Amino acid sequence: MTAHTHSHTHLPAASDPAPVTAARIGIGGPVGSGKTALIERLIPVLQARGIDFAVVTNDLVTKEDAERLRRSGLIDPARVEAVEAGACPHTVIREDPTLNIAAGDDLEARFPGLQLIVFESGGDNLASTFSLDLVDWWIFVIDVAGGDDIPRKRGPGVLRCDLLVVNKTDLAPHVGVDLDGMLAEARRARGEKPVIATNARTGAGVEAVADAIARAVLFAP
């Protein structure tokens, strides 16, 4: 293959990186805890509040989560980006978040005025944490059916996230979980950091999650 040079214009001198404008938040948590379901519930709530947002998903083995959101009818499919995790869901949000950073930057370039970008991690384990190079603030989602001993195990995800969401509260009586005890344990483990109980199937608790996002990164009162 051959090609020829066209000009000899040198690149301009170094300058500061372009400023990041949209707030970036992460949503992580174990497989099946309800991250995508929570986002599906959050979308209409954020839209009703007039928030201009987009989503980047990190599916582990498919683009299923991205396709689920694109086909949901809830959001312009162009506002959903999928980033492959190369078999390492924690790497793409922590050790090497550059693919996600680039995807977020692309969304900002395509949608000027974007206020919020939500990065959904692929399902991982309790040690999953987001790099603050990628996000300003992040949520960790666990679910009641995963067992009421999850908060007691004090994984880094549970302890270090800015907001812990305990999802699938409706399942507590069916899986032998004392929900109040589980929430109390989670609050003990996290000290001052917030915990919100949700049922993404019915939407219970989702407004409170949206309030927390708006207060944390969108300067809502």
Partner 1 sequence: MLADLIALQQADAAFPSGSFAFSNGVEGLAAADPGFGEAALARSVAAALAFRWAGTDRVALILAHRADGDAGRLAAIDAAVEAASMAEPMRTGSRRNGASLLAAHARLGTPGAADLRRVVREGGLLGHLPTVQGALWRALGLPERSAALVSGYQFASGLTSAAVRLGAVGAIEAQRVLSGALPLIAEHLERPVPEPEDGAIVLTGLTPFIEIAAMRQAQAELRLFAN
Site string for partner 1, 3-42 (x = CB under 8 A): xxxxxxxxxxxxxxxx------------------------
Write down the least CB distance from residue 24 to partner 1, Å. Answer: 13
Contact 131, 38 (CB under 8 A): no
- Residue among 14 and 113 whose Cβ is closer to partner 1: 14
Distance, in Å, from the CA atom of 182 to the CA atom of 142, rounded to the nearest integer, reads: 11
**What is the distance between the terminal CA atoms of the chain, rounded to a whole angstrom?**
59
- Which residue number, 7 or 176, has a Cβ lying nearer to partner 1? 7
Tell me whether residue 29 is annotated as binding. yes
Is position 192 an interface residue for partner 1 (rule: CB under 8 A)? no
| CB-CB contact of 164 with 142 (8 Å) | yes
Tokens (6 digits) for 128: 């999953």
Check: CB of residue 157 under 8 Å from CB of residue 130: no
CA 116, CA 119: separation in Å to the nearest integer?
Answer: 10
Number of residues near partner 1 (by CB under 8 A) = 39
Count of alpha carbons within 13 angstroms of residue 208, beta-carbon side? 15
Of residues 22, 38, 51, 60, which one binds partner 1 by CB under 8 A? Answer: 60
Site for partner 1 contains 67 (CB under 8 A): no
Is 181 a binding residue for partner 1 by CB under 8 A? The answer is: no
28 is in an annotated binding site: no
Single-letter amino acid, residue 8: H
Distance from C-alpha of 121 to C-alpha of 180, rounded to nearest angstrom: 27
Q: Which listed range, 37-45, 97-105, 140-148, 181-189, lies at the site for partner 1 (CB under 8 A)? A: 97-105
Q: Please report where in the chains the tokens 């999850």 appear, as a residue.
A: 150
| Residue 121, marked binder | no
Residue 105 or 207 with smaller CB distance to partner 1 = 105
Which positions lie near partner 1, rule CB under 8 A?
A: 1-18, 60-62, 83-88, 91-92, 95-99, 101-102, 105, 109, 133
